[in-house]
């Protein structure tokens, strides 16, 4: 009897993941470097994640068609991005904000 119960429980485990859809991608700056700890949030939800050390992220959603993600990180302009079904964004490039651009321009001058 226990074996039958265990088999039934284990056969239902894969069913729990069918309602989840994954959105994956990578956030980089204009120079191609990964952005660590950029926030990636699904629009109009409380679902949020942060990029890891190589700029990669994964979000899960119950919605299964297309998504709008909002991306932000200090020193960069916020970005909204539409993800179609399939869930892979590829590399998303964030632009430097005005303060960082000014700092980079000032430090690149040769005197």
Q: What is the CATH number of domain 20-107?
A: 2.60.40.1120
The confidence band for 91, taking pLDDT boundaries of 50, 70 and 90, is very high
Q: How does pLDDT run across 63-89, given as a tens digit for each residue?
A: 777 889 999 999 999 999 998 867 888
| Per-residue model confidence (pLDDT) at position 103 | 85
Angle, CA of 23, 25 and 73, to the nearest 5°: 110
Q: Across the chain, what does the average pLDDT equal?
A: 84
Spans of all domains in the chain: 20-107
d(CA 78, CA 71) in angstroms, rounded, equals 6
Phi, psi (deg, nearest 5) at residue 98:
-60, -40
Q: How does pLDDT run across 19-67, given as a tens digit for each residue?
A: 578 999 999 999 999 999 999 999 989 999 999 999 999 999 887 778 8
Continuous segment of H or E residues that includes residue 29:
strand 21-29
Q: Classify residue 65 by its DSSP letter.
A: S
């Amino acid at each position: 009897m226990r074996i039958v119960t265990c088999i039934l429980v284990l056969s239902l485990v894969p069913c729990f993941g069918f309602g989840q859809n994954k959105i994956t991608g990578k956030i980089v700056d204009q120079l191609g470097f990964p952005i660590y700890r950029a926030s990636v949030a699904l629009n109009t939800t409380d679902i949020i994640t942060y990029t890891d050390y190589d700029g990669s992220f994964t979000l899960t959603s119950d919605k299964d068609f297309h998504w709008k993600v909002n991306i932000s990180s200090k020193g960069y302009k916020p970005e909204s991005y539409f993800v179609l079904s399939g869930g892979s964004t590829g590399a998303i490039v964030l632009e430097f904000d005005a303060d960082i651009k000014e700092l980079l321009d000032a430090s690149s001058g040769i005197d």
